[in-house]
Amino acid sequence: MPTDVILWILGGLILISAVMSLALRNLIHCALFLMVCFLGLAGLYLHLNAVFSGLVQALVYVGAVGIILIFAILLTEGGGTETGSHLGSQWRTGIGLAVLLAFALLGAVSNSPQTTQAARHTEEPTVREIGLKLMTDYLLPLQTIGLLLTAAAIGAVVLAMQEPKPRKDETP
Amino acid sequence: MVPRVILGGGIVKGMIETARNFVGSYTDASRLTTVEYPEQRIPLHANARQFPFLVFDGTDPMAGLRCVACQICEKECPPQCIYIIKDSVKKPDYLGKMQMQPKVFDIDLSVCMSCQICVEVCPFDAIKMDTEFELSNDDRFAGLLVNKHQLAKPNSHFARIHPAEAAEVDGRLAAEKAKAEAKARADAEAKAKAAATSPPPAGNPSSSPPPKS
Amino acid sequence: MEPLKGLLSTLWKALTDQPDPKAPFLESIPEDYRSLASAVLSVAPILMVFPLLFALTTVLERKGLGRIQNRLGPNRVGPAGFLQFAADGLKTLTKEDVVPRAADRVVHFLAPIALVIPVLLTFAVLPFGRNLAPIDLDAGLLFFFAVSSATELAVFMAGWASRNKYSLLGALRAVAQMVSYEIPLVLAALSVVMITGTLSLSAIAAAQSPTPGSFLAPWYVFTPWGLMGFLLFMIAACAEANRSPFDLPEGESEIIAGYYLEYSGFKFALFFLGEYLGLFASSGLAITLFLGGWNAPFAFMQGWLPSWVWFFAKLATLIAVFIWIRGTLPRVRMDQLMGLAWKFMIPMTLLTLVAAGLWHRLPSAPLRWVACTALLAGAFLVLGRVLMPRTRHGRRVYRYAD
């Protein structure tokens, strides 16, 4: 049982906000709780001394992905409150499967080498080292991701740009 | 030329102008045109007008009131904000002739639109435009209905607010008065001469020529 | 008694640029409470100084804008009107707190808090003086941007929770604007990071210290790429803070207050505070990155005044420039705003990066000045010319009238 109080607090925050983001009726509330979950994750990374990961988690997930999520909800008329139960008709099966999955994951995590072996003390990677590694050893994945993002951005612009072309017989 | 070509040139020009305004507001009087009302006031220009008032000559407001209750202003007023009731008692005007006077002369300031038509049509220079604008009142009905006692203001007030106009009116009225006096003197002289040269007529009105007025 | 003497000694050390200013106070505190005391000592000055600066700025802004607009600003409360902020503060505190009936109460309540907290957090990494950075993070710049990106969420929360279509419209505009202008902001800052080689803001400020024997301090703004980066950073910071001429989301004459329309009293004051504090933080970052942080402009001036005096003098200058711009320029339309961000500023910031790299590689001679200036000036002129609207003089074409 870890005695790290902050770990318990952050873990609780992450779990509770994740559950709330699934359980609430209003989709925007769900999205906001998801943001809290992301912030909790960022806190967790910072607590584990992965400074770069934590800050980038906050920057990208909360600042960018969260905004995209909210825009997506708003633009697809999800801003209202749902009525009626949203549990679905086979919720018992769902819960059973989820419990099985939880056990499987817990088993995998507790038997993994990271948990069973003693933690080796490694140097916390500075941003400089991460940058150097990205530019030398991991250059190809970096460029591929860049290409992917560029393609996504261009695709978004093209999708947004297309106007329905007027037919020949219609007046423009 | 420069602002058109370079992006941001217009911004720089604008910023120089506002900087000039900022600095000039401390040094140049024409740059800071704001006046801290009500401690400081801008002097009103000559043709400023707000609501009408009644002019009186002399010291007694009711006796010296020029208004003869002819009711022309009441009829000409477009929003019909003037209300006049003639008095049965007459009073002498500045020439000495007996004229009628208003018993009631009310103006509803909430209706008056300051068009000055009442001033333009008054044959007796009795109603003129005042410049008083701080007339706020708690009661928007009775508080803005002014009667003839509140409207009567001396000619000196008129001369102070519209000096040129007051001078012109005074000149004209003085000329009329002088003419009337000259005529009265001429009439008196003619009468005295007529009384001196011919014996007083024995009561035959048809024989004596009719008096020229 | 001891802690008080330690506190005074700490204050003296901090104000006179001596190293390790927190030591005297911390030594006078028992061992167990030292970390807490250290944290409080870092945080309390920020919480005291910057809201006061905010209050002063509101008064100065109103007076400054008044003078620019041929009128006096507030001049009744206090000497020459300088206690106006007290009157405003009292007013906001005592106003009735109105929450619309259809509004989402929890989110409505949390939005101003969610705005002010990240903004206050960003002050933690700014170096206010030689040894006066509250937290000296190795990735300070990244922390700054990560935390300030949380303000966009707060803006959205404010607009959406009010259940008012104008608030929502204002909020979406604001979020789109802030997201769009974050890219040139980060890219402009990136050129400085590239040259300095570190993300730590204290190190960036220290890198612009004058070396003995030089005349001009090596501020980055004195280089072509630094000047262009600084200008772009300032424009982007103005847009991030929703400040005129980019205050379309507030749009006082159109959608009244946009996303904080339904807020009254102290919550409105918190939004106002958050906005201005964001402006101070962005200005502080611009000063640290481009204007040499706490360094004097000339080498011989370095010892004349304490380092924090230089920092706050530069901050005051930047605030004055923001007020000046606000009094000068009309509001930018939404599509013009977006066009500026995506079509002009992003290419310019990328070219600034290229110019910074060029500066670093070329030998220090007239060559690098000429090359970088030519690149940036040429790009500015070309992009500006290309993007300026071409007036089409011809027959007017009506699209929908038959």
pLDDT of C260 above 50: yes
User: Which is more confidently placed, C282 or C76?
Assistant: C282
DSSP class of residue C116 equals: H
Least confident segment among A56-65, B47-56, C246-255, C290-299 = C246-255
The reply to whether C24 and C134 lie within a common domain is no
- The pLDDT assigned to B213 comes to 44
Interface contacts (B, C; CB < 8 Å) = 53
pLDDT at A168: 52
- pLDDT computed for residue B212 by the predictor: 46
Residue C320 lies inside a defined structural domain of this protein: yes
Query: For residue C224, what are the CA distances in angstroms to B22, B30, C290, C368?
Result: 30, 40, 11, 9
Between A18-32, B143-157, C61-75, C157-171, the lowest mean confidence (pLDDT) is in: C157-171
Domain-embedded: residue C89: no
Structure tokens at A91: 């919720």
Q: Which chains touch C (3 or more CB pairs under 8 A)?
A: A, B
Tell me the pLDDT tens digit for each residue of C117-155.
999 999 999 999 888 888 888 889 999 999 988 888 898
Can you name the residues that pair with B83 across neighbouring β-strands? B106
Arithmetic mean of pLDDT, A150-165: 82
Question: Residue C152 and residue A63: Cβ atoms within 8 Å?
Answer: yes
For residue C33, give the amino acid letter. Answer: Y
Partners of chain A (3+ Cβ pairs below 8 A): C
Q: What is the maximal distance between C-alpha atoms in chain C? A: 88
> From the CA of C265, how many Å to the nearest CA of chain B?
29
Instruction: State phi, psi for B202 to the nearest 5 degrees.
Output: -85, 15
Q: Is C45 exposed, middle or buried (0-12, 13-18, 19+ CB in 10 A)?
A: middle
- Helix, strand, or coil here: B146? strand
At residue C159 the predicted structure's pLDDT band, cuts being 50, 70 and 90, is confident
C400 assigned to some structural domain: no
Contacts of A160 in chain C (CB under 8 A): none
d(CA A80, CA A73): 10
Task: Give, in degrees to the nearest 5, the angle at Cα C120 between C177 and C152.
Answer: 20
Which pLDDT score, from 0 to 100, does residue B36 have?
Answer: 85
Separation CA C260–CA C254 (nearest Å):
13
pLDDT given at position A83? 61
Mean of the per-residue pLDDT values for chain B? 86
C63 located within any domain: no
Does one domain contain both C294 and C194? yes
Alpha carbon distance A44, A18 (integer Å): 15
Output the pLDDT for position B104: 93
Tell which of C65, C68, C235, C376 to mutate to test the B interface (max B CBs under 10 Å): C68
Q: Distance (Å) from the C-alpha of residue C161 to the closest C-alpha of chain B?
A: 37
For domain A1-80, which architecture applies? Up-down Bundle (1.20)
What rounded mean pLDDT belongs to chain C? 87
Strand pairing category for B52-56 and B152-154:
parallel
* Structural domain boundaries enclosing C36: 2-43
Judged against a pLDDT cut of 50, whether residue B1 lies above it is answered with: no
A79 in contact with chain C, both atoms CB, cutoff 8 A: yes
Q: Is residue C9 part of a domain?
A: yes
- Hey, is the C-beta of C121 within 8 angstroms of any chain A C-beta? no
Residue C396 placed within a domain:
no
* pLDDT for B2 beyond 60: no
- Within an 8 Å CB–CB cutoff, is residue C68 touching chain B? yes
Tally of structural domains, chain C: 2
The residue assigned the tokens 């807020």 is C263
Helices C366-387 and C224-240, interaxial angle, to 10°? 40
Distance of CA B41 to the CA centre of its chain: 23
- pLDDT > 90 in chain C, percent: 38
Fold of B52-131+140-158: Alpha-Beta Plaits (3.30.70)
Shortest CB distance from A32 goes to which of C149, C157, C399? C157
Which of C63, C70, C322 is the best substitution to test chain B (most B C-beta atoms within 10 A)? C70
Q: Which residue of C has its CA nearest to A42?
A: C146
pLDDT over 80 (residue C255): no
CA distances to B129, B147, C181 from B143, in Å: 19, 11, 59
Q: Please check whether residues C228 and C147 belong to one and the same domain.
A: yes
C181 and C289 assigned to the same domain: yes
Choose among A55, A63, A66: nearest Cβ to C139.
A55
Residue C314 has pLDDT above 90, yes or no: yes
Range with lowest mean pLDDT among B22-26, B56-60, C79-83, C299-303: C299-303
- pLDDT for the residue numbered A15: 94
Pure H helices in C69-162: 84-94, 105-122, 140-148, 150-161
pLDDT at B209 over 60: no
Q: Residue A64 and residue A52: Cα distance in Å, rounded?
A: 17
C103/C231 same-domain check = yes
**C283 falls within a domain:** yes
Contact state of A28 with C402 under an 8 Å Cβ cutoff = no
Strand partners, C298: C216
Mean of pLDDT values over C35-46: 88
pLDDT at A82 (0 to 100): 60
Q: Cβ of C115: how many Cβ atoms within 10 Å? A: 27
pLDDT given for residue C277 in this prediction? 94
* CB atoms near residue C161 (< 10 Å): 27
**pLDDT more than 70, % of chain B:** 90
Q: Does A64 touch chain C (CB under 8 A)?
A: yes
- Tokens read off for C130: 């030689």
Does residue C402 surpass a pLDDT of 70? Answer: no
Which has the minimum average pLDDT: A98-112, B3-17, B182-196? B3-17
**C390 pLDDT higher than 80:** no
Per the CB < 8 Å rule, is A64 touching C149? yes
Contact yes or no for B121/B34 (Cβ under 8 A): no
Same domain as C316, residue C383 = yes
- Is B25 a residue whose pLDDT tops 50? yes
pLDDT of residue B16: 92
In a domain, C81, yes or no: no
Which of A18, A17, A14, A10 shows the shortest CA–CA distance to A98? A18
Q: Residue C387: its chain B contacts at CB < 8 A?
A: 7
Place B72 in a pLDDT band, splitting at 50, 70 and 90. Answer: very high
The verdict on a CB contact (< 8 Å) between C64 and B7 is no
Q: Is 50 exceeded by the pLDDT of residue B68?
A: yes
Q: How many CB atoms lie within 10 A of CB B173?
A: 17
Select the residue of B5, B21, B26 nearest C70 (Cβ to Cβ): B21
Asked whether residue C381 falls in the same domain as residue C276, the answer is yes
Please check the confidence at residue C55 and state whether its pLDDT lies above 90.
yes
Pairing of strands B127-129, B91-92: unpaired
Distance CA B82, CA B51 (A): 12
Q: What is the C-alpha end-to-end distance of chain C, expressed in Å? A: 88
Q: How far apart are CA C42 and CA C50, in angstroms?
A: 13
Which of B8, B26, B32 faces C70 most closely, judged by CB atoms? Answer: B32
Confirm or reject contact between C156 and chain A (CB < 8 A). Answer: yes
The mean per-residue pLDDT over the stretch C6-24 comes to 83
Instruction: Please give the pLDDT value at position B111.
Output: 93
- State the CB neighbour count (10 A cutoff) for residue C3: 17
- Co-location of C147 and C14 in the same domain: no
Q: What is the mean pLDDT of chain A?
A: 84
Closest-CA residue of C relative to A63 is: C149
* Residue C340 pLDDT exceeds 80: yes
Q: What mean pLDDT do residues A97-119 have? A: 86
